[in-house]
Structure 1
Amino acid sequence: MLALLRARRDAFILPTAYFLLLLFLYGSISGLQYSRKGLGSLSVSHGTNYAEIANSTHTELQALIQQGLDTSDFAGMADRVALFSRLANAITQDRSLDYQPLVALLRQQFHWWEPAWSIYAPWNPRRWVKRRNTGIVICAGAHNFIYAGHLIRTLRNTLKSKLPIEIAYSGEADLPFANRAALKALDSNIEMLNLLDYFDDDIAGLQDGGFAQKPFAMLASRFQKVILLDADIIFLQKPDQIFDTEPGLAETGALFWHDRAFVQIDDSSTDRHSWFRGLMNGREPSSMLKKSLFWTQHIYHEMESGAVCMDKGRPGVFMSLVFATWMNTREARGITYAHTYGDKEAFWMAAELSGAAYHFNPTYGAIMGYKLKRDAKVCGSQLLHLDVRNKPLWLNSSLRKNKHNGGSREFATLTHWMAPGYNMSEQIGWDFGMEEGVDWCAHGGDIVEMSGEETRIVDHMIGVSSRVDILLLPPPPERIDKEEKAAQEEKERKEKEEKEKEQEEKEDEEKEDEEEEEEEENEKEGRKKKKGKGKEGKKEKEETAEKEEK
């Protein structure tokens, strides 16, 4: 029996020892960076050797990085990002592979970025990933923090959203402490995200970056599934389940929305299209790009980046975000912004050029506002975006009638909306500045009256936002003028009353003096009369006495 047990032991130990020796040798071969960290899983899955893919890709990337890259070579950067995506995918497919060599390569290529533990990355150990890791990131500064307040309170109070929120900013000058404290006081589940803690600002240029901060904010977020929002965005539906309810987002991990579709015939339009087609030289357009009116019809803008949804847990999506962030660094954005307007096109261009999956809602920009009585137009400042069911999902430009109107706090009239179709022939027409007080009027599409529930939601949001104004802002100038006028009128009224009172008192005193004088005169007159009567009586008595004597 003992001999049998020893035989079984030897049968187990010898193959295991041989297997461990092979692993040691495999991981020690010169040039191999990726080997298993343990015996929990193998580097071969369904016939795919992920360690081999990782090592060959690492070697190719390392050679490219050593060659250097001119900042203007966006196509060359796209090729590198595609290799990074392949490498990251191999590591996430086989969790036994060490991810540190990948992180080292990322630091070499993108030396403005320090991948910190607090930043979500798809190769992070799973123990660091929370079960419910979806959140909202709002980019806010001192100039628009009041709109961030509207957004926070409408999400919480009107839509009852439970998603955690991060407020992204670039230092004290961008969003001062007082503004940060005011926003944090609006809800308990809010954290601040100072982008200067994660990126080298000498290269990133965040403090004077404006639009450029947005991809940095998404990259620095601790969330895996990120809903990136401008401060002046308003959601009309609860966004908590958007990664499940939007099929295109669930399939690809990246959801974008289109801008207004209009053609602008000028040199800048020709330049932006020829520049991008040059970057696409030698690349097969994706199925999504083939549907794009930017690609087929040369419309001026393709994407509106007020809201961007990305699942950073997908390596291709994550690396396309890194690429979009690079396109917004100080030096690179000098080229990006010369051909596009701000950050908006960087997200989809980065995905398209690097071969990452993405999805556009097929409807181009719509409008929400009020219907003109004299024309079949809808006018307003709000750019509207729809969900997969073609229902209003979110709007841009806040709830103000016109946020550019000199600090006015007047809210918009939102009763109707108009949306285009998918093809160029189905697009609506846009007139800028034709209606007093608002930016746009749209025509040529079906005018849809808002439902009772949509109206209730908007009315509630305006009420919530007006209370945020009272809470966070000083009294508006017109209110100050009214208060000052009322105070002045009250002062004048009191002064008038005092003068009238003084006049009455003076008149009363004069009257009393006159009465006293009159009384004295009467007394004097009475004494005179009395005295005169006394003399007359004495004289009469004397005369009577004389008569009697005679």
Structure 2
Amino acid sequence: MEAVPTSPTTPKSPTHAVLFLATISIAVLFVTVTLLATLTINPGSQTAHSHLVHTTGPAPAQGDSTQPPNPEVNAAEVAEAVDLAQIRFIDYMNGELDADNDKIFGGSLQDLPDGYFNLTDTWNTVNTYSNSLVNDVEYDRKNFGLLVRRARSLFIAYRVLNEMADDEFDALAQVTDDDAAAAATGNHQKSVERRNNRTSALKQQLETAVTAQTETLYSWINPPFESLAAMNGFFKSAKDSIGIALTGGSKHYYLMMHQILSLREEFNISLPIHIFYAGPEDMNATCVDTFNAMENVQAVDLLQIFPNQTKLQDRGYSMKPFAILAAPFKTVLFIDADALFFKSPLHALESRAFKETGHLFFHDRFLREESGMRGPDFFNDVHKHLSRYGQTIGFPNAKTRKRAETHELDSGFLVLNKSNTGVLFSLLLASKMNSMPFEKDVLYGHTHGDKESFWFASEMLRVPYQFNSPYGGAIGTLRKMEGKNTGTAVVCSGVLSDRYVTTDFGNHFAEFTHVALDFDGVGTKWFDFFPGGGCVKRPSRHVMELSAEHQALMERYRQRFLHSVKDPVTAV
């Protein structure tokens, strides 16, 4: 995998490359028809509270925008109304109403009819749905559309309660639908009292909503955290600002030990490293003791961190988001055990994408499977309002773009700042998508494991994210192509021929002579896959011989396997 930590506007040039090698029932809303009187299907309708009407263009002519709710509207139409209102409200909270065009991630407020945005009605649609969830703890967990709608509801309630400015919160409280409060009348003193009561009532209502919806979606966070606010606060004030997380068991011991030694010796990285495993059946006590005897390294039983998420015993890729969540660091660098770096992974922290969004994603290898449209179809069915940024990604456009990829994210290297509320909630939703038995079955039934869940969650929650521009490349040995394939080079990539080997590393460690870079996906063809690697055809101009410096680095990696990685021993 090769990558350039830049924003999407950065030129895709090899001179900027940082080469990373890594393995890579129907929607039942529990909203009755009687509630439709309070759900304004068109969030652009007029309101008496003109101070909460915002426009991005000329206001519509009188009477043009008021659409009375349809009493015959069905659950799917209500779901669509709620989805759109939630997305618009999050874009509003993200500051997109008056943002410069190049700062807009979502874009829903720029696409309104006549450029007209009614905050009051949008909020009341969102909040009415939120209230309807407080006592509706049972839902179809295989219905990802419903799952995401609930996750957005919790995200909005939490942000309004904890992050909205006092004056804006107070203004929102005054226009929140409340028949009893709206009917109150009296003199100025009573008006002031009523205003204060409305603000207090909205705060109490949101606190109830956050508590109830957290219990429904993420009850397994307690323990270790009593609440989402406690979790958020912990990461904002984390003792270790930056740390590294790995996942694996006894069978990954040699790869993880090699990774730790390489980070320490090759790049002088002294950051704390936590290795997450799933119980004694995953990692034996000898391996645990060996890791714990190393300086600033800790092997952590993930089942003890989230004891109520018992299905972590599955011990697959689904552990990744939970491990990132459990790592006690403000910013987590998650690294696959068999990833090798040409440049320090800390370089990613300096990328503009990470600084602007709080997380950094890397593209997978450019793969398009004509028979593998389940992922894009599933995603587009669940998420019908792509962000402006999401519209630039190949995956959701695979049906309409003949060359678009059906794989998007490589989860072998992830960088996330969990003190960012949006990043934290995206990680929570990604974890939920990887939960057993229902959610994981749905996700893994349509995509290749955990990897797409990370950007799915950010996109669906409308949390700004960015991919590093290039696609994953290959480093390994060169094959010469002849005949009709003359002019095309093939590079086969993989660190070890058997990633679980425990001896004779010298005969299993691959030879590294060439690198194939992929900045655009044009002419890319992957084939001959094997555990931890595969071969890629690229135009010869994108294939080059490794420099002497890089070949020397790869030899040091090999020698480290041969001489520095020791068998696990019980710590004394």
Common fold by TM > 0.5: yes
Give CA-to-partner distance per residue, 1:252-293, whole Å, 9 cap, x none. 112111122222222xx1322221111122x13341442325
Give the distance between the partners of 2:480 and 2:379, measured in 1 at CA: 43
- Code of the residue aligned with 2:407 in structure 1: it is H
* Aligned alpha-carbon RMSD (Å): 3.7
Please report how far the alpha carbon of residue 105 of structure 1 lies from its aligned counterpart in structure 2 after TM superposition. Answer: 4.0
Going from structure 1 to structure 2, the CA distance change for 1:223 and 1:87 (only over 3 Å counts) comes to: farther
Q: CA deviation at 1:115?
A: 5.2
> Structure 1 427/311 Cα, relative in aligned 2: closer, same or farther at 3 Å?
farther
Q: Which has the higher helix share?
A: 1
1:295 alignment counterpart: 397
SS in 2 for 1:304: coil
Structure of higher RCO (CA pairs closer than 8 Å, 6+ residues apart) = 2
| Cα 1:433–1:318 shift into 2, 3 Å | closer
Deviations 1:448-507 (A, max 9, x none): 22233323332222222322344449xxxxxxxxxxxxxxxxxxxxxxxxxxxxxxxxxx
Structure 1 or 2, whichever has the larger Rg, is 1
- Note if 1:430 corresponds to 2:536: no
1:251 is the counterpart of 2:347: no
Match status 1:352 vs 2:352:
no
Cα distance change, pair 315–400 in 1 and its aligned pair in 2 (3 A): same
Cα deviations by residue, 1:56-92 (Å, 9 ceiling, x for unpaired):
9787535324223211221222222223323333455
| Larger deviation, residues 214-223 vs 55-64 | 55-64
Name 1:421's counterpart in structure 2: 519
Mapped pair 1:224 → 2:320: no
Contact 2:151–2:217 under 8 Å retained in 1 = no
Q: Does the 8 Å CA contact 1:92/1:123 hold for their aligned counterparts?
A: no
Provide the identity percentage: 24
- Measure, in 2, the Cα distance between the counterparts of 1:175 and 1:95: 47
Deviation by residue 1:404-440 (Cα, 9 ceiling, x = unmatched): 7897622121222111122x4x242223169xx9742
1:71 maps to which residue?
141
Distance 1:119 1:66 in 2: 18
Gaps of 5+ in 2: 1-94, 96-121, 167-202, 483-487
> Which of 233, 236, 239 is the matching residue for 2:345?
239
Supply the distance in 1 between the matched residues of 2:242 and 2:227 (Cα, whole angstroms): 13
Unaligned 5+ residue runs, structure 1? 1-45, 47-52, 383-398, 474-550
Amino acid at match of 1:443: R
Aligned to 1:329: 435
Structure 1 residue 277 corresponds to structure 2 residue 380: yes
Q: Does 1:377 align with 2:489?
A: yes
Distance in structure 2 (CA, Å) of the matches to 1:182 and 1:55 = 56
User: Aligned partners of 1:58 and 1:241: how far apart in 2?
Assistant: 42
1:195 to partner: Cα distance: 1.3
Report whether the alignment pairs 1:61 with 2:61: no
Secondary structure of 1:372's match? Answer: strand
| Greater mean alpha carbon deviation, residues 308-317 or residues 371-380 | 371-380
Distance change in 2, residues 1:127/1:304 (3 Å): closer
Asked whether the equivalents of residues 238 and 328 of structure 2 are also in contact (C-alpha less than 8 Å), the reply is no
TM (norm. structure 2) is: 0.62
**Secondary structure class of the residue paired with 2:335:** strand
Structure 1 residue corresponding to 2:313, chosen from 207, 213, 218: 207
- Give the drift of 1:228: 1.4
Show the counterpart of 1:458: 554
Q: Does 1:339 find its partner at 2:441? A: no
Change (3 A) 1:59 1:132: farther
Secondary structure of the residue that 1:133 maps to in structure 2?
A: strand
**Aligned partners of 2:387 and 2:462 also within 8 Å:** no
How far 1:441 sits from its partner (Å)? 4.2
Q: For the structure 1 residues 87 and 223, does the alpha-carbon distance in structure 2 shift closer, same or farther, using more than 3 Å as the test?
A: farther
Cross-structure match for 1:310: 416
Q: Equivalents in 1 of 2:228, 2:255: separation in Å?
A: 27
CA deviation after TM superposition for structure 1 residue 135, in Å: 0.8
Report the TM-score, using the length of structure 1 for normalisation: 0.65
Alignment of 1:394-409 (within 5 A): 399-403=495-499, 409=505
* Aligned equivalent of 1:521: none
Query: Per-residue CA shift, 1:80-118, capped at 9, x if unaligned?
Result: 222332333345536999997645642343223315259
- Alignment-derived partner of residue 157 in structure 1: 265
Q: Find the aligned partners of 2:369 and 2:126 in 1 and give their Cα distance.
A: 43
Matching of residues 518-533 of structure 1 within 5 Å:
none
Work out the number of aligned pairs and report it.
401
List per-residue Cα deviations over 1:217-249 (Å, max 9, x = no partner): 111111111111222222322223532x11111
Which AA in structure 2 matches 1:226? V
Residues 354 and 333 from structure 1, CA distance in 2 versus in 1: closer, same or farther, beyond 3 angstroms?
same
Show the counterpart of 1:444: 539
Distance of 1:468 and 1:91 partners within structure 2: 52
Matches within 5 A, 1:472-511: 472=568
Q: Please give the secondary structure, in 2, of the residue aligned with 1:301.
A: coil
2: CA distance, partners of 1:464 / 1:120 = 42
Task: Tell me the equivalent position of 1:12.
Answer: none
